[in-house]
A = this chain, B = another copy of it.
Amino acid sequence: MAAVTIWNEYRHERENEAVEAVYPDGIHEALASVLEADHDVRTATLDEPEHGLTEPVLESTDVLLWWGHKAHDEVADEVVDRVQDRVLEGMGLLVLHSGHYSKIFKRLMGTSCSLQWREDDGLERLWVVDPGHPIAAGLDEYIELPKTEMYGEPFDIPEPDRLVFSSWFEGGEVFRSGCCYRRGSGRIFYFRPGHETLPIYEHEDVKRVLRNAVEWAEPRACAPRTFGNRTTAANEE
């Protein structure tokens, strides 16, 4: 049982009827309903003070989920700094779909995180490339999503530590759609599925991946991260 905080931009759902029809309570609530049976779940949104990500909230978060799309630039840099620090200390981070362009993901990757996309409602098949990875536990050979937005290569990211999913799109493209990283003591998982006008987070396999990923990203006990001026030589201690 982890302390999970789900962060959502929460603008689309209040401004666009098509989005509201799919996610009437916001994408964060849809995600919360996937995880709340097993975890202690809170939500936070862009328009709350400090975007809902105050120091006490982050200090008490084991795994943070991130969903943003059209207002990435409105996230304050000091909040991004704070989230980054917590990841380096060990907090898990799940970045979903259009969150690839969030400040926090770009910050942790060091690259542009650019890609190609097309809204076409075609079929996506996420192949399990690394069947031994715990995030793939309980899946079959692939996840099939009948209607999705297309994301295509090149995806400007560092080589993933482990690539769990690789997507096939009906229109002819491929994409590395499940990527694991470590930064400091924290685990990061980028997971492509999710679109504001499609009920992707109701798909059973997608829900399973989200649950697996939270479990995988939970902080582990670790050794001290001690930095700075080491006044005494190890040989003199």
Min CB distance A223 to B, Å, is 4
Q: Using Cβ atoms and an 8 Å threshold, which residues of chain B touch A233? A: 118, 120, 122, 150, 170-173
In the assembled complex, the Cα of A226 lies from the Cα of B173 at a distance in Å of 14
A212 to chain B, nearest CB (A): 9
- Evaluate contact between A154 and B112: CB separation under 8 angstroms: no
A29, chain B: closest CB distance, angstroms: 28
Cα A101 to Cα B7 with chains together (Å)? 30
A224 touches B137 (CB 8 A): no
A182 touches B107 (CB 8 A): no
Query: Which chain B residue has the least Cβ–Cβ distance from A220?
Result: B134
- A182-B158 contact in complex given A221-B138, A234-B142, C-beta closer than 8 Å: yes
Residue in contact with A154 in the complex, picked from B176, B225, B231, CB distance below 8 Å = B225
Pair A125/B176 contact, Cβ less than 8 Å: no
Rounded to whole angstroms, the CA-CA distance of A183 and B131 in the bound complex is 11
CA of A78 to CA of B161, assembled, Å: 30
Contact of A111 among B136, B169, B183 (CB under 8 A): B183
Docked complex Cα distance between A160 and B159 (Å): 9
Asked whether A109 is an interface residue with its Cβ less than 8 Å from the other chain, the reply is: yes
Given contacts A110-B108, A132-B222, A224-B131, contact A182 B159 (CB under 8 A): yes
